[in-house]
Amino acid sequence: MEYTARQIADMLNGDLEGDPELKINGFSKIEEGEEGTISFIANPKYSKYIHSTKASAVLVGRDFKAENGINTTLIRVDDAYQAFAKLLTLQNNNKLNTSGISTKATIRENAKVGRDVFIDDYVFIGEHAEIGDNVKIFPHTYIGDNVKIGKDTILHPGIKIYNNCRIGENCLFHAGVVIGSDGFGFAPQTNSNYQKIPQIGNVIVEDNVEIGSNTCIDRATLGSTVIHKGVKLDNLIQIAHNCEIGENTVIAAQVGISGSTKIGKNCMIGGQAGFVGHLKIADNVKVAAQSGITSSIKKPGQVIQGAPAFDFGKYQKSYVLFRKLPDLYDKINELEKELKELKQTNKND
Amino acid sequence: MEYTARQIADMLNGDLEGDPELKINGFSKIEEGEEGTISFIANPKYSKYIHSTKASAVLVGRDFKAENGINTTLIRVDDAYQAFAKLLTLQNNNKLNTSGISTKATIRENAKVGRDVFIDDYVFIGEHAEIGDNVKIFPHTYIGDNVKIGKDTILHPGIKIYNNCRIGENCLFHAGVVIGSDGFGFAPQTNSNYQKIPQIGNVIVEDNVEIGSNTCIDRATLGSTVIHKGVKLDNLIQIAHNCEIGENTVIAAQVGISGSTKIGKNCMIGGQAGFVGHLKIADNVKVAAQSGITSSIKKPGQVIQGAPAFDFGKYQKSYVLFRKLPDLYDKINELEKELKELKQTNKND
Amino acid sequence: MEYTARQIADMLNGDLEGDPELKINGFSKIEEGEEGTISFIANPKYSKYIHSTKASAVLVGRDFKAENGINTTLIRVDDAYQAFAKLLTLQNNNKLNTSGISTKATIRENAKVGRDVFIDDYVFIGEHAEIGDNVKIFPHTYIGDNVKIGKDTILHPGIKIYNNCRIGENCLFHAGVVIGSDGFGFAPQTNSNYQKIPQIGNVIVEDNVEIGSNTCIDRATLGSTVIHKGVKLDNLIQIAHNCEIGENTVIAAQVGISGSTKIGKNCMIGGQAGFVGHLKIADNVKVAAQSGITSSIKKPGQVIQGAPAFDFGKYQKSYVLFRKLPDLYDKINELEKELKELKQTNKND
The tens digit of pLDDT for each residue in B329-345 reads: 999 999 999 888 888 87
Considering only the beta carbons, identify the residue of A124, A222, A318 that sits closest to B27: A222
Contacts of C52 by beta carbon, 8 Å cutoff, 6+ apart:
none
Tell whether the model's pLDDT for residue C176 goes beyond 90: yes
Angstroms from C18 CA to nearest CA on chain B:
24
Residue B291's pLDDT is what? Answer: 98
Residue C323's pLDDT is what? Answer: 96
The rounded radius of gyration (Å) of the Cα atoms in chain A is 28
**C322 pLDDT tier (thresholds 50, 70, 90):** very high
Handedness of CA B109, B112, B115, B118 (dihedral sign): negative
A184 to B232: CB separation less than 8 angstroms, yes or no: yes
A323 to C310: CB separation less than 8 angstroms, yes or no: yes
Give catalytic residues of B, as residue numbers.
241
Which residues of chain B are within 8 Å of residue C266 when distances are taken between CB atoms?
Answer: 192
Contact B43, B58 (CB under 8 A): no
Contact C266, B192 (CB under 8 A): yes
User: What is the pLDDT averaged over residues B322-326?
Assistant: 96
Residue C144's pLDDT is what? Answer: 96
Choose between A93 and A128: higher pLDDT. A128
Which residues of chain B are within 8 Å of residue C207 when distances are taken between CB atoms?
Answer: none
At A288, the amino acid letter reads: A
Which residues of chain C are within 8 Å of residue A323 when distances are taken between CB atoms?
Answer: 310, 314, 318
Give burial (CB, 10 Å; 0-12/13-18/19+) of B67.
exposed
Choose between A99 and A6: higher pLDDT. A6
Helix (H) or strand (E) holding A291: none
B235 to A214: CB separation less than 8 angstroms, yes or no: no
Choose between C38 and B344: higher pLDDT. C38
Interface of B with C in 25-84 (CB under 8 A): none
Most confident listed range (B186-190, B264-268, C78-82): B264-268
Q: What does the alpha-carbon distance between residue B24 and residue B181 come to, in Å, rounded to a whole number? A: 46
Among residues B316, B232, B214, B217, the alpha carbon closest in space to that of B269 is found at B232
Tell whether the model's pLDDT for residue A346 goes beyond 80: no
Tell whether the model's pLDDT for residue B130 goes beyond 80: yes
Chain C within 8 Å of A88 (Cβ-Cβ)? yes
Interface of B with A in 136-165 (CB under 8 A): 138-140, 156-158
Angstroms from A131 CA to nearest CA on chain B:
18
Give burial (CB, 10 Å; 0-12/13-18/19+) of B65.
exposed
Choose between B108 and C96: higher pLDDT. B108
Interface of C with A in 305-344 (CB under 8 A): 307-308, 310, 314, 317-318, 321-322, 328, 331-332, 335, 338-339, 342
Angstroms from B191 CA to nearest CA on chain A:
31
User: What is the pLDDT averaged over residues A111-136?
Assistant: 97
Which residues of chain B are within 8 Å of residue C335 when distances are taken between CB atoms?
Answer: 335
C250 to B178: CB separation less than 8 angstroms, yes or no: no
CB atoms within 10 A of CB C199: 23
Residue C43's pLDDT is what? Answer: 86
Residue B330's pLDDT is what? Answer: 94
Tell whether the model's pLDDT for residue B151 goes beyond 90: yes
| Prediction pTM value | 0.91
Cβ-Cβ pairs closer than 8 A, A with B, add up to: 174
Helix (H) or strand (E) holding A311: strand A309-311
Which residues of chain B are within 8 Å of residue A314 when distances are taken between CB atoms?
Answer: 323, 326
Residue C232's pLDDT is what? Answer: 98
Query: How many Å from the N-terminal Cα to the C-terminal Cα in chain B?
Result: 94
* Letter string b/e over residues B104-139, b meaning 16 or more CB atoms within 10 A of that residue's CB: bbbbeeebebeeebbbbbbbbbbebbbbbebbbbbb
Angstroms from B322 CA to nearest CA on chain A:
6
- Cα nearest neighbour of A172 on chain C: C182
Contact A129, A108 (CB under 8 A): yes
Tell whether the model's pLDDT for residue B27 goes beyond 70: yes
Contacts of B145 by beta carbon, 8 Å cutoff, 6+ apart:
B108, B126, B127, B128, B129, B163, B164
Catalytic residue among C156, C174, C228, C241: C241
Chain B within 8 Å of A20 (Cβ-Cβ)? no
Neighbours of chain C (3+ CB pairs under 8 A): A, B
Considering only the beta carbons, identify the residue of C216, C308, C331 that sits closest to A236: C216
**C113 pLDDT tier (thresholds 50, 70, 90):** very high
The rounded radius of gyration (Å) of the Cα atoms in chain C is 28
Q: What does the alpha-carbon distance between residue B277 and residue B243 come to, in Å, rounded to a whole number? A: 9
Tell whether the model's pLDDT for residue A96 goes beyond 80: no
User: What is the pLDDT averaged over residues B111-123?
Assistant: 97
Contact C315, C297 (CB under 8 A): no
Residue C95's pLDDT is what? Answer: 66
Tell whether the model's pLDDT for residue B118 goes beyond 70: yes
- Cα nearest neighbour of C248 on chain B: B193
Give burial (CB, 10 Å; 0-12/13-18/19+) of A103.
exposed
B140 to C120: CB separation less than 8 angstroms, yes or no: no
Contact B114, B96 (CB under 8 A): no
Give the residue from C49, C102, C122, C342 with the most B CB atoms within 10 Å of its CB, the best one to mutate: C122
**A87 pLDDT tier (thresholds 50, 70, 90):** confident
User: What is the pLDDT averaged over residues C321-339?
Assistant: 93
- Cα nearest neighbour of C252 on chain B: B184
Which residues of chain A are within 8 Å of residue C102 when distances are taken between CB atoms?
Answer: none
Chain C within 8 Å of B200 (Cβ-Cβ)? yes
User: What is the pLDDT averaged over residues A48-69?
Assistant: 88
A158 to C163: CB separation less than 8 angstroms, yes or no: no
In sequence order, the β-bridge partners of residue C274 are C256, C292
User: Which stretch of A124-133, C85-94, C205-214 has the lowest confidence by average pLDDT?
Assistant: C85-94
Which residues of chain A are within 8 Å of residue B210 when distances are taken between CB atoms?
Answer: 182, 186, 196
Angstroms from C190 CA to nearest CA on chain B:
35
Residue A106's pLDDT is what? Answer: 98
C328 to B328: CB separation less than 8 angstroms, yes or no: yes
**C90 pLDDT tier (thresholds 50, 70, 90):** confident
Q: What does the alpha-carbon distance between residue A282 and residue A263 come to, in Å, rounded to a whole number? A: 7
Tell whether the model's pLDDT for residue C103 goes beyond 90: yes
Contact C198, A95 (CB under 8 A): no
**C333 pLDDT tier (thresholds 50, 70, 90):** very high
pLDDT tens string B152-204: 999 999 999 999 999 999 999 999 999 999 999 998 888 889 989 889 899 99
- Cα nearest neighbour of A90 on chain C: C198
Counting residues of chain A whose pLDDT is more than 90, the rounded percentage is 78
Q: What does the alpha-carbon distance between residue A258 and residue A187 come to, in Å, rounded to a whole number? A: 17
Which residues of chain A are within 8 Å of residue B103 when distances are taken between CB atoms?
Answer: none
Angstroms from B48 CA to nearest CA on chain A:
19
Considering only the beta carbons, identify the residue of C178, C197, C345 that sits closest to A176: C178
Neighbours of chain A (3+ CB pairs under 8 A): B, C
**A349 pLDDT tier (thresholds 50, 70, 90):** low
Give burial (CB, 10 Å; 0-12/13-18/19+) of A113.
middle
Which residues of chain A are within 8 Å of residue C317 when distances are taken between CB atoms?
Answer: 325-326
Residue B97's pLDDT is what? Answer: 73
Angstroms from B155 CA to nearest CA on chain C:
15
Q: Quote the mean pLDDT of chain C.
A: 93
User: What is the pLDDT averaged over residues A185-209?
Assistant: 91
